[in-house]
Structure 1
Amino acid sequence: MMLALLAEAALRSAALIGMAWLALRLLRVTNPFTQMAVWDGVLATSFAMPLLMQLAPADRLTVPLDGIRFWLQPATQLVARAEPAAQATLAAASPPTLDIGWSDLGLGLYLLVTGTLLLRLALGTLAGLRLRARAQRLRHGWTQPHDIRVSKDITVPLTIAGTILLPPDFTGWSAATRKAVLAHEASHIERHDYYMLLLSTLHRALFWFSPAAWWLDNRLALLAEANSDTAALEQMEDHLTYAEILVAMAVKARRLPAGLAMARPATVTARVERILQGGALPLRMNARRWALVLALLAPASVISAGATGTDKVDPAVAARMAEQAKPRTAIALAPEAMDKFTGYYETPLMANRPLKVYREGDHLLAHVIGQPAMAFYPESPTSFFSRDMPVQGSFQVNGQGVVGGVVLHQNGHDLPAARIEDARGKALEQALAERVKSNKPLPGSEAALRAHIAQIKAGKIDRDSLVADKADAVISLLPKIQAEMLPLGDLQSVQFKRVDEGGMDVYRATYAHGVRDWWVLVTPNGKLDSMWFGPAS
Structure 2
Amino acid sequence: MDKTSPQDVLLTAAECAARTGISVRTLRVYEANGLLSPVRSQKNWRLYSSGDIARLNEILSLKQLGLSLSAIAEILEGRMTDVGHLLDIQKTILTARQEQAERGLRLVAQLQSKSLAGEGLSMGDLLDLAKETKMNEAADEYAWKRYDQARPRTEIEPDRDNLQACAGEYRFEDGIAIRITSTGNGLRGELLGQPEFDLFAEAPDRFFLKVTPAQFTFSRDEEGEVEGLVLHQGGFEMKAEKCAEGVFAATKADLEDRIRNKTPFAGGEQKLRRLIGEHREGKPDYVEMTPVLKALVEEQLPVVVKELERLGPMRSIEFRGVGVDGFDIYIVEFENGRMEWGMSQCPDETLNGLFMRPVP
Superposed, 1:160-239 pairs within 5 Å as 213=82
Q: Which residue of 2 aligns with 1:307?
A: 96
Deviation at 1:497? Answer: 2.3
Q: Which residue of 2 aligns with 1:517?
A: 340
Deviation at 1:423? Answer: 2.5
Flag the structure with higher helix content.
Answer: 1
Read off the aligned partner of 1:390 and give its amino acid letter. P
Deviation at 1:362? Answer: 1.9
Identical pairs, percent: 23
**How far apart, in 2, do the equivalents of 1:515 and 1:488 lie?**
8
Deviation at 1:500? Answer: 0.9
**Which of 193, 202, 207 is equivalent to 1:379?**
202
Q: Which residue of 1 aligns with 2:215?
A: 392
Q: TM-score, normalised by structure 2?
A: 0.58
Deviation at 1:452? Answer: 2.9
Deviation at 1:317? Answer: 5.9
**How far apart, in 2, do the equivalents of 1:447 and 1:325 lie?**
38
The structure-2 alpha-carbon separation of the partners of 1:413 and 1:519, relative to structure 1 and needing over 3 Å to count, comes to: closer
Q: Which residue of 1 aligns with 2:64?
A: none
Q: Which residue of 1 aligns with 2:104?
A: none
Read off the aligned partner of 2:163 and give its amino acid letter. M
Q: Is the 8 A contact 1:495 1:508 kept in 2?
A: yes
Q: Is the 8 A contact 1:448 1:527 kept in 2?
A: no
Superposed, 1:151-166 pairs within 5 Å as none
**Which of 168, 185, 188 is equivalent to 1:365?**
188
**Which of 30, 35, 38 is equivalent to 1:112?**
38
The structure-2 alpha-carbon separation of the partners of 1:414 and 1:478, relative to structure 1 and needing over 3 Å to count, comes to: closer
Q: Deviations over 1:320-377 (max 9, x none)?
A: 55544443222223545412212222224x0x20232223452212243122333211
**How far apart, in 1, do the equivalents of 2:220 and 2:350 lie?**
38
The SS at the match of 2:276 is helix
Superposed, 1:285-324 pairs within 5 Å as 305-308=94-97, 312-313=136-137, 321-324=146-149
**Which of 445, 449, 472 is equivalent to 2:272?**
449
**How far apart, in 2, do the equivalents of 1:468 and 1:318 lie?**
19
Higher-RCO chain (CA-CA 8 Å, sequence separation at least 6) = 1
Deviation at 1:454? Answer: 3.7
Flag the structure with higher strand content.
Answer: 2
The structure-2 alpha-carbon separation of the partners of 1:342 and 1:388, relative to structure 1 and needing over 3 Å to count, comes to: same
Q: Which residue of 2 aligns with 1:405?
A: 228
Q: Is the 8 A contact 1:408 1:415 kept in 2?
A: yes
Read off the aligned partner of 1:497 and give its amino acid letter. R
Superposed, 1:327-476 pairs within 5 Å as 327-333=152-158, 335=160, 337-348=162-173, 350=174, 352-398=175-221, 402-410=225-233, 415-457=238-280, 459=281, 461=283, 463=285, 466-467=288-289
Q: Which residue of 1 aligns with 2:17?
A: none
**Which of 478, 481, 487 is equivalent to 2:304?**
481
Deviation at 1:518? Answer: 0.1
Tell which deviates more after alignment, 337-346 or 405-414.
405-414
Q: Is the 8 A contact 2:166 2:226 kept in 1?
A: yes
Deviation at 1:413? Answer: 6.0
Q: Deviations over 1:291-344 (max 9, x none)?
A: xxxxxxxxxx98775234599356766665554444322222354541221222
For structure 1, the 5+ residue unaligned runs are: 1-99, 121-201, 217-300
Q: Which has the larger radius of gyration?
A: 1
The structure-2 alpha-carbon separation of the partners of 1:497 and 1:387, relative to structure 1 and needing over 3 Å to count, comes to: same
**How far apart, in 2, do the equivalents of 1:380 and 1:345 lie?**
20
What's the RMSD between the two structures over aligned residues?
4.7
The structure-2 alpha-carbon separation of the partners of 1:103 and 1:392, relative to structure 1 and needing over 3 Å to count, comes to: farther
Read off the aligned partner of 1:329 and give its amino acid letter. T
Q: Is the 8 A contact 2:92 2:143 kept in 1?
A: no
**How far apart, in 1, do the equivalents of 2:217 and 2:349 lie?**
37
In the alignment of these two chains, the number of paired residues is 273
Q: Which residue of 2 aligns with 1:33?
A: none
